[in-house]
Amino acid sequence: MNSSAHIMCCGGVFMFRSRRFRQRLVINIDTAERIGVVSDMEIDELTGRITQIIVRRGSFIPGFLRMNEIMIPWDSIKASSNEFILVKIFDLPA
């Protein structure tokens, strides 16, 4: 993905709608591991550039539902479609 992706409004280059990006499945391109789904994005207020995606991870243990979020730098995104986002991550938190 283009690391200079940013959000412009009112006469800018393009308009980005975050709801189209949310809920996409994020997959580690090296391991084919399903990491989780996009829950939000972090945007640099000064530049308008997306700096990270926030991915919600969840696991179900009988009697418990554990959810946590990890931050994935925008530069780690290698490809995306309407359903998936492929990322390259070396150190993934457990």
Q: Which tokens is 94 given?
A: 């457990």
With 80 as the cut, is the pLDDT of residue 2 above it?
A: no
Check residue 88 and give its pLDDT. 93
Question: Of 49, 56, 40, whose CA–CA distance to 75 is shortest?
Answer: 49
Computed on alpha carbons and rounded to an integer, the radius of gyration of the chain in Å comes to 14
pLDDT above 90: percentage of residues in the chain: 37
Give the whole-angstrom CA distance, residue 89 versus residue 32.
Answer: 11
Give the whole-angstrom CA distance, residue 41 versus residue 22.
Answer: 9
Please name the fold of domain 25-87: SH3 type barrels. (2.30.30)
Give the whole-angstrom CA distance, residue 49 versus residue 63.
Answer: 40
> In terms of pLDDT, which residue wins out, 1 or 78?
78
32: left (phi over 0), alpha (psi -120 to 50) or beta: left
Give the whole-angstrom CA distance, residue 63 versus residue 65.
Answer: 7
Check residue 18 and give its pLDDT. 64
Give the whole-angstrom CA distance, residue 71 versus residue 51.
Answer: 10
Check residue 22 and give its pLDDT. 79
For the chain, which residues make up each domain, given as ranges?
A: 25-87
Check residue 93 and give its pLDDT. 62
